[in-house]
Amino acid sequence: MTHPRTPVLIGAGQRTYRKGQAPGPLAMTLDAATLAAEDAGLGAAGLAGVDLLAVVGFTVDSDGNIQRLPIPRLANPPAALAAALSASPRRAVYTHMGGNTPQALVNWAAELIAQGEHDLVLLVGAEFLGTLMRRLKEGADLAAFGGPEADPPERWGDGRAGATPQERAHGMDFPTNVYPLFENALRAHRGRTLAAHQAAMGRLFAPFSAVAAQNPHAWFPTARAPEEIAQEGPDNRMVGFPYTKYLNAIIQVDQAAAVIMASTAKADALGVPAGKRVYLHGCADANDLWFVSERTNYHSSPAIRMCAQKSFAMAGKTPADMAFLDLYSCFPSAVEIACAEIGLAEDDPRGLTVTGGLPYFGGPGNNYVMHAIATMMERLRAKPGAFGLCTGNGWFLTKHAFGVYSTTPTQGAWTREDPKSYQKEIDALAHPPLIEAPTGPATIETYTVVHARDRVRLGVVIGRDSEGRRFLANTPDDEATLLDLQSREGVGRAGRVAQSEDGKRNIFTPD
């Protein structure tokens, strides 16, 4: 018999809004919550009894340039949604940023349910940048994106900045500039030529696009050939070398998703059918060394490795036992490194996504994994007894969360290992010392070339000086230098580093 405090996922809902028709964050989260309630057989009125409500942070509320957009904002998203549902949750939270967040919320909520703190939980998020940016350009009414004044919400999650001031000064504070650093390091580590690795990225992501083509919720439901994805062209410009547009997550989408969780006793009381129930068998949360400049190297992830070990051990399963997989896929390097750390082949016949992935299904801000979990629930319900893995990743391969799911009930009292017990192992890892103002002979550890729409714009370098100390730098901005870094291997290339004339950056000049 299943323990009455066992946490269980009982409902899921998701919606994609086409042609700039997103109705705004409150209406979108209400839509997703209502769909999840209907899926659980509760009806919208069933959510009035929610005692924990969490809304995933909207991208417009993140730090940086987007926060300065002249737009109205929903002051307290969880409170506004609770009011719309006629709910009075004992706790309502609004999360900090991070693509790991939905899975991390499931892990957290499961623990609280098992401990008897909550019985009915709603997790929901939405992304509406597609419609918002269109309306901004058109000068259209934006009232639907705001709401009445309210006290600020309780924030949940790790709200630390993703980059240091020095990283920001060198352009290492935006995903399209940072993930290519991992990719180029990975290519060099594997000993591939530029051409061979470019082709491999296309082969990796073509199956993702094929899954998206069959997904009615996908933003880009188009199957693409490997060459079409990986090769630069008029419709597929280079964004951050070696990533073309089709190798990048797309955030300007309009998508919402929600998941409802309950204790088994509450699910029984609500009359949720057994065929709707999906159980969290294993989970884990871990961070890599927080800042990119601190990492041990740029081709591995000790935190992903730890999450895989802990979540599979908790579930009593192995990667081979998974019928379905959804690896966080913002860029190829995230998938390639995850495969290596989990022990999966990049051409695994099971496929590495159930949605189509962030470049093709869509990359709805911090909420993509909620869509992955909702889709995983559908897959598992259709194949009772099978197991599936969902992973999440926040910032720059920084924050990680794993969940192993099945319709098979868990046995005994549900409990998990405190992530703090294994996080300390990662935090203690040695890494190269960082020097802020290097000078003299140096070599490239990894790099990228950042593109504007019509030109190469910026070279970003992580390097080592003659004593092995790590430094951050940009390259001279002349086109010849930047194009040369794209035409032949830059990792390991020698040169000299010095401070810029204004003293604000380091400049690495290749030999």
pLDDT in tens, 337-391: 999 999 999 999 999 999 999 999 999 999 999 999 999 999 999 999 999 999 9
Structure tokens, 154:
């309780």
For residue 387, list its beta bridge partners.
Answer: 406
User: Are residues 463 and 501 located together in one domain of the fold?
Assistant: yes
Q: Is the pTM of this model over 0.95?
A: yes
Q: Which CATH number goes with the domain that contains 73?
A: 3.40.47.10
Q: For the CA atoms of 370, 376, 380, 386, what is the dihedral angle to 10 degrees?
A: -120
Query: What is the DSSP code string of 63-110?
Result: SSGGGGSS----S-HHHHHHHHTT---SEEEEE-S-TTHHHHHHHHHH
Structure tokens, 189:
């580590």
pLDDT-based confidence at residue 458 (cuts at 50, 70, 90)? very high
CB neighbour class for 346 (10 Å; exposed up to 12, middle 13-18, buried from 19): middle
User: Are residues 298 and 419 located together in one domain of the fold?
Assistant: yes
Amino acid 45: pLDDT: 86
How far apart, in whole angstroms, are the C-alpha atoms of residue 478 and residue 455? 11
User: Are residues 111 and 11 located together in one domain of the fold?
Assistant: yes
User: Are residues 408 and 463 located together in one domain of the fold?
Assistant: no
Q: Is residue 509 pLDDT above 80, yes or no?
A: yes
Contact 377, 248 (CB under 8 A): no
Domain boundaries, position 446: 440-510
Domain assignment of residue 220, yes or no: no
Domain assignment of residue 279, yes or no: yes
pLDDT in tens, 298-326: 999 999 999 999 999 999 999 999 999 99
Domain assignment of residue 478, yes or no: yes
User: Are residues 77 and 141 located together in one domain of the fold?
Assistant: yes
User: Are residues 409 and 493 located together in one domain of the fold?
Assistant: no
Amino acid 428: pLDDT: 98
Q: Is residue 69 pLDDT above 90, yes or no?
A: no
User: Are residues 36 and 141 located together in one domain of the fold?
Assistant: yes
Tell me what the mean pLDDT of segment 275-292 comes to: 99
**Beta strands in 216-254, from DSSP E residues, in sequence order:** 238-240, 243-244
How far apart, in whole angstroms, are the C-alpha atoms of residue 348 and residue 427? 31
How far apart, in whole angstroms, are the C-alpha atoms of residue 299 and residue 328? 16
User: Are residues 285 and 352 located together in one domain of the fold?
Assistant: yes
How far apart, in whole angstroms, are the C-alpha atoms of residue 325 and residue 20? 31
Tell me what the mean pLDDT of segment 204-226 comes to: 99
**Last residue within a domain, chosen from 427, 451, 482:** 427
CA distances from 462 to 32, 41, 236, 468, 483 (A): 42, 53, 27, 12, 18
The fraction of the chain above a pLDDT of 90, given in percent, is: 97
User: Are residues 298 and 399 located together in one domain of the fold?
Assistant: yes
Q: Which CATH number goes with the domain that contains 503?
A: 2.40.50.840
Look up residue 507 and give its amino acid.
Answer: I
User: Are residues 278 and 372 located together in one domain of the fold?
Assistant: yes
Amino acid 20: pLDDT: 84
Domain assignment of residue 87, yes or no: yes
Q: Is residue 489 pLDDT above 90, yes or no?
A: yes
Tell me what the mean pLDDT of segment 485-507 comes to: 97
Average model confidence (pLDDT) across the chain: 97
User: Are residues 156 and 64 located together in one domain of the fold?
Assistant: yes
Domain assignment of residue 153, yes or no: yes
Contact 410, 6 (CB under 8 A): yes
Q: Say how many domains are in the chain.
A: 2
**Last residue within a domain, chosen from 404, 427, 450:** 427
> What are φ and ψ of residue 509, in 5° steps?
-110, 115
Domain assignment of residue 227, yes or no: no
- DSSP assigned state of 18: -
Sign for the CA dihedral angle at 176, 355, 254, 130 comes to positive
Domain assignment of residue 12, yes or no: yes
User: Are residues 473 and 324 located together in one domain of the fold?
Assistant: no
> What are φ and ψ of residue 393, in 5° steps?
-145, 130
Domain assignment of residue 65, yes or no: yes
